[in-house]
Amino acid sequence: MKTENELHLRKGEFVLTEAKWDDNTPWKFIISKEKPDSNLCTAAFCVTSHRGTLLLIQNRKRGWEIPGGHIDEGEEIEQALIREVMEETGAVIENPQMFGYKIVLPVFPIPHRDKKGSYYPFPYSYVPYYHAEASEILDLKLAPDVIGIKFVNFNEAKSMLAPGHNHDKILEHLIKSRSIDINE
* Residues, the chain: 184
Q: Which domains does the chain have, with CATH numbers?
A: 14-173 (3.90.79.10)
- The string over 89-99, giving b where at least 16 C-beta atoms fall within 10 Å of a residue's C-beta and e elsewhere, is bbbebeebebb
pLDDT (0 to 100) of residue 63: 94
pLDDT, tens digit, 9 for 90 and up, residues 145-171: 999 999 999 999 999 998 878 999 999
pLDDT, tens digit, 9 for 90 and up, residues 40-78: 999 999 999 999 999 999 999 999 999 999 999 899 999
What is the rounded distance in angstroms from the CA atom of residue 17 to the CA atom of residue 160?
A: 19
pLDDT (0 to 100) of residue 8: 76
pTM: 0.93
